[in-house]
Structure 1
Amino acid sequence: MTAPTLGVAEQYCTFWVDDLYFGVAVAEVQEVLRHQPMTPVPRANEAVRGLINLRGQIVTAVDLRVRLGLPPRPEGALPMNVIVRSRGEVVSLLVDDIGDVIDPRDQGSLELEPAPSNMPADVQDVVLGVRPLPDAILLVLDADRAVDVSAVPDTSGGNP
C-alpha cells in the first residue's frame, strides 16, 4: 500500500464555516473542542481572536470567518475549535460547527479536483482542492495556509 500524496488524505475531519463545508486531513488534527475562553492579543491581526490555554499549552486561535473574508458569526453564536498542527505549532481554527470524520472514497469520491475558478479568492487561497460527495462538495483545507494570517488585510487596526 502506498502512502497518500498531499491533499489526498484517506480521512477528513469535517466542519462548517458559514455555509462552506470543509475537511482537513485527520493526520493534521490534534483534537476538536467546544468553545474555549480566549485571552485577546493586543495589536494582533484581526483574524487572530486570541490565545487559548489548552491544558497548559498556549494555542493561537484563528477565526476562519475573518481569515476567509466571510461575514461575522451571528450574535451569540460561539465558535468551535479544530486544533491542528501546522509548521511545528499547534493552532486552533475557529469554526461554526463540527461535522464527522469521513472517508470520501466510501462515498464515491476518488480524486481531489481543483477548486472552481469562481470560488472567492480568499477561499481558493486556503483550499487544496475539492472532493465531490453525493450530497455536498467538500473543500479540502490546507491547514498551513489557513493559519497564515499574514495574507489577511487587517481592517481593525489591531485588536485592542
Structure 2
Amino acid sequence: MNPPSEARPQEVLLFTLERQRYGLPVEDVRELVRAARLTPLPRAPDVVEGLLNLRGELLPVLDLRRRFRHPARALSPMDHFIVASAAGRLVAMRVDRAEGLHTVTSGEWDPSPRELPGVGFVAGAAKLADGLVLVHDLRSFLSEAEALQLDSALGALPEPA
C-alpha cells in the first residue's frame, strides 16, 4: 500500500482478531464470506489453517492467529473469511469480524511501523480517532519458502473427478 496522498486517500478494510483491529488495503480484498468448514491440507506450511471450497475454488486459509502470535481458537460460525490477493495468489483469512471500510487520509497515515524490526507484513499504520490500526501488506505475508511449500501441497491434491 502506498502512503495516501492529499489527492488520493486509500481505503482499508478494518477487521478484528482477538479484540485488536487490523486493516488490509481494499485493492487486495475480493470479498467477505461467513466461516465454513475447512479441509486439512497435508504438507502445507504452518501458516495455512486448511482449504476453503468457495463455489468450487479451493483457497488456502491463512492462520492469522498463528502469524500474529494470538492463541489458537476453534473455528466459529460467527467468524468471517476475508478473500484477498496475497502476492498474486487468492487466499482466505479467518478473522473474528470484518468491521467495514475506512478511508485513510494522509494525516492519518504513518509509514514508520514497517521500518521497525520484527514487524513484518506491515505497510504502515492508520492513526484513527479510536486507536492505531496496523495495515498489512499481503504481498509479503507469505515468505518465499512458505509460498513454495504451499504450491507443493496444493500440487499434491488429487485431480477433481
TM-score of Structure 1 vs Structure 2, range by shorter chain: 0.7 to 0.9
**Identity score, percent:** 26
Q: Which residue of 1 aligns with 2:97?
A: 97
CA distance in structure 2 between the partners assigned to 1:109 and 1:63 by the alignment? 32
- TM-score, normalised to structure 1, is 0.75
Q: Which residue of 1 aligns with 2:111?
A: 113
Work out which of the residue numbers 125, 128, 131 in structure 1 matches 2:126.
131
SS of equivalent residue, structure 1 residue 11: strand
- TM-score, normalised to structure 2, is 0.75
RMSD between superposed Cα atoms in Å: 2.6
Q: Deviations over 1:1-52 (max 9, x none)?
A: xxxx625361011101223211111111000111022110113222211111
4+ long deviations beyond 3 Å: 75-79, 147-151
- CA contact under 8 A between 1:40 and 1:50: conserved in structure 2? yes
- CA contact under 8 A between 2:109 and 2:124: conserved in structure 1? no
CA distance in structure 1 between the partners assigned to 2:80 and 2:50 by the alignment? 14
Q: Which residue of 1 aligns with 2:88?
A: 88
Structure 2 gap ranges (5+): 147-161
CA distance in structure 2 between the partners assigned to 1:76 and 1:28 by the alignment? 24
CA distance in structure 1 between the partners assigned to 2:114 and 2:83 by the alignment? 27
SS of equivalent residue, structure 1 residue 38: coil
- Per the TM alignment, residue 76 of structure 1 is displaced from its structure 2 partner at its CA by 6.3
Q: Deviations over 1:41-99 (max 9, x none)?
A: 113222211111111111100010011222123x5645321111122221011112111
Give the 3 Å change call, closer, same or farther, for CA 134–72 of structure 1 in structure 2. Answer: same
